[in-house]
Amino acid sequence: ADTIKVGILHSLSGTMAISETSLKDVALMTIDEINAKGGVMGKKLEAVIVDPASNWPLFAEKARQLVSQDKVSVVFGCWTSVSRKSVLPVFKELNSLLFYPVQYEGEELEKNVFYTGAAPNQQAIPATEYLMSKEGGGAKRFVLLGTDYVYPRTTNKILRAFLHSKGVKDTDIDEVYTPFGHSDYQTIVANIKKFAAGGKTAVISTINGDSNVPFYKELGNAGLKATDVPVVAFSVGEEELRGVDTKPLVGHLAAWNYFQSVKNPVNTEFIKKWKDYAVAKKLPNAATVVTNDPMEATYVGIYMWKQAVEKAKSTDTDKVIATMGGQTFKAPSGFELTMDKTNHHLHKPVMIGEIKADGQFSVVYKTKTPIRAQPWSPFIPGNEGKQKL
């Protein structure tokens, strides 16, 4: 064939559509861009889009369909960990490639997957360190607040071990979980307030998706300001803030590897391309589109795959995997990102941003250089032997 098919596996309906739809659009934009520049090895890319509808078994079915029916060379997709876990066996069985663009809990390393989002040490731990620093407010007590599922549980487990290592006692850590879709945060905010009376407190939020809005609204109305109890979130980015009135949230934080507000030529161009694309394709709310970390990770992932294919001179899975390691790419974050030679994760810079009134972040901290991912957190017992990976 004179085209190379690539699969896009993001939920366009159901609960996760809120986050994943824009990843599909970014992927299409990137593919258009690559095609406009002549494609990959002279062949045009052809996107095959499916909608797994936020349904995990359907993810597996759709992945199988993409790989075995549509014969795509690579799949870009998934957001939640469980969707990734659901498709993993398929990619292993059919020996195909998946690029996963979202920050996650780690504890996984698959030959067939490249992780372009952050591992915990590229997000959670630096953020906590920042909160404990003088600049970050010198927090002594921590509320670990999350939605009850694997990513928050794992992250909090890692963080607890990390905090222990920093001398924080268990009495100064409060771990709280809410069900999916929880929308009444009155009690929790009241408890945070109570807990915060005991000393300088920070909240580390791994609240997922939709629940963030009610949480932040409650926070704002209860008068908990960022200067009193800062909240750092790992799942809240520019895209999520579009749905929130950010004025009461000024000063709360998020940790990512990229922010739209980062200033550098690559990013300026990236943002412009995206805005133009949104207008050209008449995406809903095209006037107010924003970029965020997973979008950048998708963008980087597609380009890195392209480079690897061109180096391998083939789309064959094993060959591409072989050439993927060591690929570099000048990313919108302003850093040159490298795909690790062994662990399939990107070396990424860590940035911490404070929410501004306009829904953007002002970067208050960033690492000097990209950091290597530790998918097997050293803070989890049993992972000692895996640190070289």
Site for another protein in 298-337 (CB under 8 A): none
Interacting residue with another protein among 3, 95, 165, 187 (CB under 8 A): 187
Nearer to another protein, 90 or 302 (CB): 90
Q: Rounded to an integer, what distance in angstroms lies between the CA atom of residue 213 and that of residue 199?
A: 26
Q: Counting contacts by CB under 8 A, is residue 293 touching another protein?
A: no
| Helix (H) or strand (E) run with residue 19 in it | helix 17-36
Displacement of CA 388 from its chain's centroid (Å): 23
Q: Counting contacts by CB under 8 A, is residue 22 touching another protein?
A: yes
Q: Counting contacts by CB under 8 A, is residue 148 touching another protein?
A: yes
Q: Applying CB under 8 A, which part among 226-234, 293-301, 304-312, 332-340 lies near another protein?
A: 226-234
Closest approach of another protein to the CB of residue 116, in Å: 21
Q: Rounded to an integer, what distance in angstroms lies between the CA atom of residue 375 and that of residue 333?
A: 21
- The two beta strands, 98-100 and 74-77, are parallel
Nearer to another protein, 85 or 319 (CB): 85
Q: Counting contacts by CB under 8 A, is residue 280 touching another protein?
A: no
Q: Helix, strand, or coil here: 113?
A: strand
Q: Rounded to an integer, what distance in angstroms lies between the CA atom of residue 10 and that of residue 3?
A: 22
Interacting residue with another protein among 119, 213, 254, 320 (CB under 8 A): 213
Most distant CA atoms of the chain, gap in Å: 67
Interacting residue with another protein among 108, 172, 310, 316 (CB under 8 A): 108
Q: Counting contacts by CB under 8 A, is residue 285 touching another protein?
A: yes
Pseudo-torsion of CA 34, 40, 41, 44, nearest 10°? Answer: -90
Q: Which residue, 342, 328, 343, 339, is CA-closest to 375?
A: 343
Residue 22, both tokens: 């824009």
Interacting residue with another protein among 1, 368, 381, 384 (CB under 8 A): 381
Nearer to another protein, 157 or 306 (CB): 157
- Give residues 24-63 in contact with another protein (rule: CB under 8 A): 49-53, 55-58, 60-62
Q: Counting contacts by CB under 8 A, is residue 238 touching another protein?
A: no
- Give residues 251-270 in contact with another protein (rule: CB under 8 A): 251, 253
Q: Rounded to an integer, what distance in angstroms lies between the CA atom of residue 1 and that of residue 11?
A: 28
Closest approach of another protein to the CB of residue 147, in Å: 9
Closest approach of another protein to the CB of residue 370, in Å: 22
Q: Counting contacts by CB under 8 A, is residue 153 touching another protein?
A: yes
- Give residues 61-90 in contact with another protein (rule: CB under 8 A): 61-62, 64-65, 68-69, 81-82, 85-86, 88-90
Q: In the chain, what are the helix, strand and coil shares in percent, each to the nearest 5?
A: 40, 20, 40
Residues forming a β-bridge with 144: 175, 204
Q: Counting contacts by CB under 8 A, is residue 194 touching another protein?
A: yes
| Helix (H) or strand (E) run with residue 232 in it | strand 231-233
Q: Counting contacts by CB under 8 A, is residue 276 touching another protein?
A: no
Sheet-wide strand order for 3-9: 44-50, 3-9, 74-77, 98-100, 113-115
Q: Counting contacts by CB under 8 A, is residue 95 touching another protein?
A: no
User: Considering just the CA atoms, what is the radius of gyration of the chain in Å?
Assistant: 20
- Give residues 346-375 in contact with another protein (rule: CB under 8 A): 354, 356, 362, 364
Q: Which residue, 299, 297, 330, 323, is CA-closest to 309?
A: 323
Pattern of binders to another protein over 118-137, x per CB under 8 A?
Answer: ----------------xxxx
